[in-house]
Amino acid sequence: MNSTLSRRLFLAGSAVALTLPATHRVYAQAATPPAGPFATPKLGYAYNALEPHIDAMTMEIHSQRHHGAFITNLNNFAKDHAMIGKTPVSQLLAKWQELPEAIRMGAKNSLGGHANHTMFWEIMTPGGAKEPMGDLKAAIDRDLGGFDKLKADFNGAGGRLFGSGWVFVTVNKDGKLALASKPGQDNPMMDGLMPLFGNDVWEHAYYLKYQNRRADYLNTWWNVANWTKIGERYAAAKAGKLAI
């Protein structure tokens, strides 16, 4: 099934779901991933906690179905390739080209998708600081030209990214920040860098609310970034303890 048809079916199903009582909404019925070493992370907050900026239906579908699909894939890979479940995700991504050839691309995509989304749910946690503070603010001023320039450059990169992918701020072992765009579910750990934070610009992250208005989504997304959490990730990265 091609991507255009898949998207149309997804949107059609979502439209039907809106007409049904809450107890029967089809979008709420996510398949349970097979047993294995990986599990879909719990959000730790309600699906509607990021409204009005990100709607509850998008958060439920995104976290349970899309992220859940990566978990299903990884557990299936791990059945025949035990090292998938026994090696830290960061190490697998750093050396993804050494994965068994038969599963290399599928495992790379699912590992990246799992890492990207695990980070995403964490840095959008409700509450926390609304702008960078302390060492993180100083690093943004030093490496990215300040918070306002970061937002403008980040949004610009997200708007220019063709098709599906992610925009990241990366951090190296010395604490230096940089902006990076990645296609698909690629992750900065594939390049020896750590993802400090990032935004998902796949259509499933915003289409139910913003349709084709990616720029509106990128602009409003800053309202849900939790800078306390991002600051904690920055401290962990400088200490060499940031994983995914």
**Any idea how long the chain is?**
244
Whole-structure pTM value: 0.86
pLDDT at 8: 41
Share of the chain above pLDDT 70, in %: 87
**pLDDT more than 90, % of the chain:** 84
> Would the pLDDT of 6 be above 70?
no
pLDDT of 16 = 34
214: CATH: 3.55.40.20
Residue 208 lies in a domain: yes
Q: Dump pLDDT digits (tens) for 181-202.
A: 999 999 999 999 999 999 999 9
Provide the sign of the torsion angle of the four alpha carbons 63, 202, 20, 12, taken in this order. negative
Q: What is the rounded average pLDDT of the residues 5-29? A: 38
Number of domains in the chain: 1
**Is position 21 within any domain?**
no
Structural domain boundaries, residue 206: 53-244
Mind listing the pLDDT tens digit for each residue in 219-232? 999 999 999 999 99
Residue 36 lies in a domain: no
- The residues that bridge with 200 in the sheet, in sequence order, are 166
Q: Is residue 179 part of a domain?
A: yes
Q: Is residue 45 part of a domain?
A: no
Residue entry with tokens 């107890």:
23
Residue 14 covered by a domain: no
209 within a domain of the structure (yes/no): yes
Residue 16 resides in a domain: no
